[in-house]
A and B are shown apart, each in its own frame.
Chain A
Amino acid sequence: MAVATERMVQAIEEITVNQGVDPRSAVLVGGGGAAGLNAVAIARRLGSRRVVIPQAGAVLSARGALMSDLTSEYAAALFTGSDDFDHAGAQAVLDGLRARCEQFAQRNGAAEAEVEFVAEARYRHQVWQLDVRLREGRLATPVELAALIEDFHSIHDEVYAVRDERAVIEVVNLRARVNCPLQGGVEDTVAMAQGHASGGMRGVYFSGIGAVNAAIVRLEAMTPAAQFAGPAIVESSFTTVVLPPGATAERTASGSLAIAPGALELAGAGDEATEAVG
């Protein structure tokens, strides 16, 4: 289990730290049927201060598809460098992307739509790009370009620990994303199964701690917003969540489980449940 946790941590760091996202300031969401077994352990290693196991976390993707806003993304190639920037060309591409976004919103009868623009940029002769959000969604003027350049240097520094103020910055692609919020159609939650009660204690072995008595808690029977502390095992119709000693949790109004993982205990292998006995 400790090894599986470490692998998950490395995989998450690949898509967070390496992309400039600090997992310590992120909420870890546990999806899939087995996430509850070591989500808290992963969060502790990542330094995330909150874990959410959504009510329908075991079928996260399917549920997500049902409740998401309508979005679409459009991209267009534009190759130009900061030493001789094609302002007119860039703005024309952005205008074209905005028009396609608005058509999408219109076609789908959206009452409101937000459009956000991103430039894929790099230092000249690099072959991998970084995404830079355009503050005003425009590149028509040297001032708007200067903002892009400043933001690119900062993101490059954040992600790769260095910046190169002398280098030309190239824009390779421009992208636009349109977001149309759903108009009150779908329920946020699914109906809770009735008739389950929390029940009793069970002997559970946590490596680094030993055998302890853990409360067996039924998610459906929990009082929303009431805090309770590990060690505990939360069971629902969808999944099972292990709450090691030191972690606290509450059921949210939407039926999800929100967990504060508690302090990271050292030596890596420490403190997750490796097997449940009894």
Chain B
Amino acid sequence: MSRDVVTLAVMTNRMEGVVRKMTNTLFRTARSTVLNTARDFSCCIVTANHEMLVMAESLPIHVISGPDTISRWLRRFHPNPRRGDAFIHNSPYHGNSHAGDHCIVVPVIDDAGAHRATALVKAHMADIGNSEPTTLMATARDVYEEGALIFPCVKIQEDYSDVEDVVRMCMSRIRVPEDWYGDYIGMIGAARVGERELLKVGEEVGWDAFDDYVADWLDYSEERMRATIRELPAGSRTGHDIHDAVPLRGVEDGVPLEVTVSVDPQAAEIEIDLRNNPDCLPCGLNLTESTSVTSALIGVFNSIEDRVPRNTGSGRAVKVLLRENCCVGIPVHPASCSMATSGIAERLAGIVQRAMAEFRDGLGMAATGPECPPAVAGLSGRDPRHGDAPFVDMMILGNSGGAGHPHGDGWMTNGETSDGGSMMRDSTEVLELLRPIRVWADRIVPDTEGAGRFRGAPSLYIEYGPVDTELEVLYAADGTVNPALGVRGGQSGALCRPALRRADGEVVELEAWARVVLAPGETVISISSGGGGYGPSHERDVQRVLRDVTDGWVSVKRASEVYGVVLGEDGLLDNDATSARREQLAASAAGSPAAGNEAADAARAVHGSEGDPVLALTEPGTRLWPSAPSSS
């Protein structure tokens, strides 16, 4: 049968509509800010043959690869699912991203009892019962020390009613159980809305027509992907990066990473080899099978045209080589994968993007800012405004980090590469209403961008602390030593810098991996990593540099030194001096700093001897835009 493209488009719109309805349900019903404001969750539809079909605006790291594997495990553990069943799943050894993401998996069963598709909701929970009140534990030596309940496809609803035994286990183990339960039923609602809509589709178009559509859509996606790969240059590139050290034996020197990307335009295939990486690490940084494959694919999708659908179909054209017991591969129980959606995942996508950029100018991207600064943290404590009721939540506020790419600057609100800009940042006002905290400052730090023809996003300065109570803050910050790398002559972004302001005003540095209890009057200062730049900075469009100067994002001094854009005493562009300076920069231009000491030194030198803009910002009474020209 020849393909009916209109039916394809109509059905795909309809499927995406189903996923959006699921998304809307959880977004509007959830209790934790990580879900109802930051939208750190995903919804998708998986086929009965375990293929990822539609993800709409879900987070790439949650769904590109993983739900397919979860669907396989579901059928292995529960060969005959029935209508009304729902399963809770978070096992990092059975296709999940990391234990902190709870999945609700609802098999869609037709009237004859056959399993036709699966509606899957995956949400980053405020708490999962870890040994510490955070879902991101870089310092957990294994899954036991991590401590969460692990659910490998456990039945939590039968005949549309809770299996109370399992709910009781969660309510006994997860902090602030009422909020977990509220988030849980929001996920159930989202999955049931998906189920309802899919049953309607089956009833209206017939399940056989649905299966035809699925086959067509996945084949079409594969063809689009292969057509794109045919246009790429042939060859192979190996890229490197280093994840910062963790204060545990075996990881105290950081984690060196290597990826080889091979493009074969004739076979229309890309192969990504992740096998030459360290064995599973004795800490929470290990990736899962899902996030290893997904991060590699994110790097590819970020490097090519953006209209290739992301699903199992397009994924067929990319082969990701993994090995067992590898920190970027298939983890072996009891390795901890607590940080599997950020830390190394961010570095991995960055290496792939940079490797793609090395093939040809106009491809790939620089690296985004490493995660997570202390404004992306587990918060917990008691709220004096509500009779000291306990709370626990994930704050998603202070990361920017977008990477420069061939066609534009890094996104200021990129957040993590792994979420592809799909997540939102917390609303300061909502956060302050819901939790006893105040956000004292939220601003851009000048001169922190990875310079380039297209620059990375600058760092964010966030300062927050408790109000009339103590606040426990847990964070795991990569990027305090190894910056986001530039590519094709682009520079590294600034380093992440955690600090604490004592009640008497003194500012002290914090560790990269910390659990801090703030007393009333104390604040945490979170400076996120800047994104890497793409291409040489002296090639940057002069008008763009001038706008950055006007906006206060780049100082006059840096504009001249790094971009070769010279302003006169009157604040206007000095054309002659600019031409001369740009020639000089072009003659002495070196490549992008390499991973390791070279990049680390370069990143530190940006804020070296004089006028550290970060320290300047910590001064009480600092103006919001220190380097902005005064307006009349």
Contact = CB atoms under 8 A, between A and B. Distances in A.
Interface of A: 2-3, 5-7, 9-10, 13-14, 17-18, 123-128, 156, 160-164, 166-167, 264, 266-269
A127 B192 contact: no
A162 B28 contact: no
Given A126-B29, A164-B181, 5 more contacts: A7-B13, A17-B21, A167-B178, A267-B209, A268-B10
Contact residues on B (Cβ < 8 Å of other chain), bracket: 35 or more
B171 to A, nearest CB: 10
B434 A125 contact: yes
B569 to A, nearest CB: 51
Contacts of A124: 31
Contact of A126 (B13, B181, B182, B196): B182
21 contacts: A2-B9, A2-B10, A3-B6, A3-B10, A6-B10, A9-B17, A125-B179, A125-B182, A125-B434, A126-B29, A126-B30, A156-B29, A160-B25, A161-B25, A161-B196, A163-B185, A164-B181, A166-B178, A266-B205, A267-B205, A269-B4
B181 to A, nearest CB: 7
Contacts of B36: 126-128
B209 A266 contact: yes
Interface of B: 4, 6-7, 9-11, 13-14, 16-17, 20-21, 24-25, 27-33, 36-37, 178-179, 181-182, 185-186, 188-189, 192-193, 196, 204-206, 209, 430, 434
A233 B29 CA distance: 46
Contacts of B179: 125
B11 A268 contact: yes
Contacts of A18: 21, 24-25
Contacts of A123: 29, 31, 182
Contacts of A266: 204-206, 209
A163 B29 CA distance: 10
B9 A3 contact: yes
B10 A160 contact: no
A6 B205 CA distance: 14
A13 B29 contact: no
9 tightest Cβ-Cβ pairs between the two chains A and B: A162-B189, A125-B31, A128-B28, A10-B17, A161-B189, A161-B192, A268-B10, A160-B189, A162-B185
B21 A264 contact: no
A2 B434 contact: no
B373 to A, nearest CB: 24
Contacts of A164: 181-182, 185
A161 B204 CA distance: 21
B181 A162 contact: no
A162 B184 CA distance: 10
B10 A125 contact: no
A142 B430 CA distance: 30
B14 A269 contact: no
Contact of A160 (B16, B20, B28, B178): B28
Given A125-B31, A166-B178, A268 B7 contact: yes
Given A160-B25, A162-B186, A269 B7 contact: yes
Contacts of B20: 10, 14
B168 to A, nearest CB: 13
A9 B25 CA distance: 18
B1 to A, nearest CB: 12
Of A18, A125, A269, most B-chain CB atoms within 10 Å: A125
Contacts of B188: 161-162
Contacts of B430: 127
B6 A269 contact: yes
B156 to A, nearest CB: 13
B9 A162 contact: no
Contacts of A126: 28-31, 36, 182
A270 to B, nearest CB: 9
A13 B29 CA distance: 18
A124 B11 CA distance: 38
A6 B15 CA distance: 11
A160 B6 contact: no
A213 to B, nearest CB: 25
Contacts of B196: 161
A167 B9 contact: no
Contacts of A156: 29
A3 B17 CA distance: 13
Contacts of B204: 264, 266
B259 to A, nearest CB: 39
B235 to A, nearest CB: 39
Nearest to B206: A266
Contacts of A7: 13
A35 B540 CA distance: 48
A5 B27 CA distance: 27
Contacts of B178: 166-167
